[in-house]
Amino acid sequence: MIRLSPVPGEDFSASVVLFALAMGGFAIGTTEFAAMSLLPYFAHGLNIDEPTAGHVISAYALGVVVGAPVIAVLAARIARRTLLMALMLVFALANGLSALAPSYGWMLVFRFMSGLPHGAYFGVASLLAASLVPRDRRSQAVATVMIGLTAATIVGVPLANGIGQIFGWRLGFGLVAVLAMATALAVRLVAPIGLPRTGASPLRELGALGRRQVWLTLGIGAIGFGGMFCVYTYLATTLIAVTGMAEAATPLVFAVFGLGMTIGTIVCARAADRALMPAVGATLLWSAGALALFPLAAHSVWTVVPVVFLIGCGGGLGAILQTRLMDVADDAQTLAAALNHSAFNTANALGPLLGGLAIGAGYGWAVTGWVGAGLALGGFAIFLVALWDARRDQASTSLAPAQTGGSPTA
């Protein structure tokens, strides 16, 4: 359990606020991952085939990519508590409408709407969480918010899937709407107002787009995280076709993956609060190694389950990069923090695409591990560029006084 202390002088408990923020992460994680597991059911209910129903998943991801930067920029002057409540209420409405969707076309629209608040919520919630604790515990505070999402893969997704199977897929989305409304209420009751920085404006937020370190950090996530999604997307089919596992047992392996993500998020956050950039590099190398083991382990349930756990641990990269963006975005943190989730959804599109191409070329289902390892190493390469660029800028800054005739130690 991550123990955090509130900022001195505040009359609220940081732990209670973080729990409320994590509730939103739980709701978002439940709808994001449960939609995949409910796909066969709403495909049947809407009279479409499953490949077509897959576009509904893509519509949500597109909503995340579009909504994160747009909302972050337009809402620059809104207090964080107010913005978080509004985002959760929109999220509740969109998921409620998804539960009532009369046709495939409307389902696409409502899932796109559902994705719009995703990135902005996590970005703003992470900033609010970090503001409640000392600087050396920021990553742990962000991780607590993220644990809501990882816990959803263990509890929320099976719950929504079970409700969907027994009572119909519409109630699965309805559950998420209820969770989102509960989050909005909890945030209103326990969270501090979180006034925006003095001088905050849409133009200032856009300034984040002009910083190399922001783009490099986003690139690490967009490429490096793609490996995990590459394996996750085809995991069920690989377990059935290669490992020989019964279809009914595959949800247990997904729960193991979620457990790995949860533990990885906690451990990586603690490491990042001690040495952030080394933690980023180490997590990427961990992911590359675990993903490379997957093709070798996929033929036996006794080896594939531990490897899936190790791959899940690489999910701790999310909280670390969120904190890194706080450091490099300067006075445009809201946009940068929100874009982190646009980057992850880019990874969610890139990993399955490249994995699908390799499978289609005849290399087998387990090849996703090799493809994923390549993506993790690609993210590590961008990390090395970011590290070199940061050190070059630091060296230039330290030499600047000498170049203008001043003392280099001034």
Tell me the C-alpha to C-alpha distance, in Å, between residue 35 and each of 44, 52, 111, 169, 327. Answer: 14, 14, 10, 9, 34
Residue 267 pLDDT grade (very low, low, confident, very high; cuts 50, 70, 90) = very high
Mark whether 84 and 136 lie in a shared domain. yes
Do 170 and 224 belong to one domain?
no
Which of 158, 178, 196 lies at the terminal end of a domain, its last residue? Answer: 196
How confident is the model at residue 199, as a pLDDT?
Answer: 56
Same domain for 70 and 180: yes
Helix axes 169-190, 80-100, angle to 10 degrees: 170
Indicate whether 133 belongs to any domain: yes
The segment with the largest mean pLDDT, out of 2-16, 79-93, 196-210, is: 79-93
* pLDDT score for 8: 39
Q: Please give the angle made by the CA atoms of 375, 349 and 219, to the nearest 5 degrees.
A: 50
CATH number at residue 221: 1.20.1250.20
User: What's the rounded mean pLDDT across residues 224-253?
Assistant: 86
Position 313 scores a pLDDT of: 94
Length of the chain measured in residues: 410
Query: What is the count of structural domains for the chain?
Result: 2
- CA atoms of 265 and 237, how far apart (whole Å): 26
Give the pLDDT of residue 404: 44
User: 33-55 burial string, b = 16+ CB within 10 Å, else e?
Assistant: bbbbbbbebbbebbebeeeebee
3-state secondary structure of 50: helix
Confidence at residue 409, expressed as pLDDT on a 0 to 100 scale:
36
Q: How confident is the model at residue 348 (pLDDT cuts 50, 70, 90)?
A: confident
409 lies in a domain? no
pLDDT higher than 90, residue 383: yes
- Are 392 and 334 members of one domain? yes
What's the domain range around 81? 10-196
The share of the chain scoring above pLDDT 90, in percent, equals 36
pTM exceeds 0.85 for this model: no
Do 241 and 188 belong together in one domain?
no
**Do 139 and 283 belong together in one domain?**
no
Domain membership flag for residue 237: yes
Are residues 181 and 233 part of one domain? no
Residue 405 domain-assigned (yes or no): no
Q: Which residues contact 18 (CB under 8 A, 6 or more apart)?
A: 4, 129, 132, 141, 144, 145
The reply to whether 5 falls in a domain is no
SS (H, E, C) the chain: CCCCCCCCCCCCCHHHHHHHHHHHHHHHHHHHHHHHHCHHHHHHHCCCCHHHHHHHHHHHHHHHHHHHHHHHHHCCCCCHHHHHHHHHHHHHHHHHHHHHCCCHHHHHHHHHHHHHHHHHHHHHHHHHHHHCCCHHHHHHHHHHHHHHHHHHHHHHHHHHHHHHHHHCHHHHHHHHHHHHHHHHHHHHHHCCCCCCCCCCCHHHHHHHHHCHHHHHHHHHHHHHCHHHHHHHHCHHHHHHHHHCCCHHHHHHHHHHHHHHHHHHHHHHHHHHHHCHHHHHHHHHHHHHHHHHHHHHHCCCHHHHHHHHHHHHHHHHHHHHHHHHHHHHCCCCHHHHHHHHHHHHHHHHHHHHHHHHHHHHHHHCHHHHHHHHHHHHHHHHHHHHHHHHHHHHHHHHHHHHHHHCCCCCCC
Domain presence at residue 120: yes
Q: In this predicted model, what pLDDT tens digit does every residue of 34-74 receive, in sequence order? A: 776 677 778 888 888 766 777 787 788 888 888 888 888 88
My answer on whether 20 and 79 are in the same domain is yes
Q: What is the largest CA-CA distance in the chain?
A: 76
Residues 171 and 53 in one domain: yes
**Which of 100-109, 151-160, 282-291, 323-332 is modeled with the greatest confidence?**
282-291
pLDDT at 392: 83
Residues 225, 359 within the same domain: yes
**Site of tokens 């990993």:** 351
Show which of 196, 221, 255 is a domain's final residue: 196
Please indicate, yes or no, if residue 1 is contained in any of the structural domains: no
> Does residue 401 belong to any structural domain of this protein?
no
Residue reference for tokens 């933690």: 279
Q: Are residues 50 and 190 in the same domain?
A: yes
- What percent of the chain shows pLDDT beyond 70? 88
181 and 93 within one domain: yes
Listed residues 138, 164, 196: the one ending a domain? 196
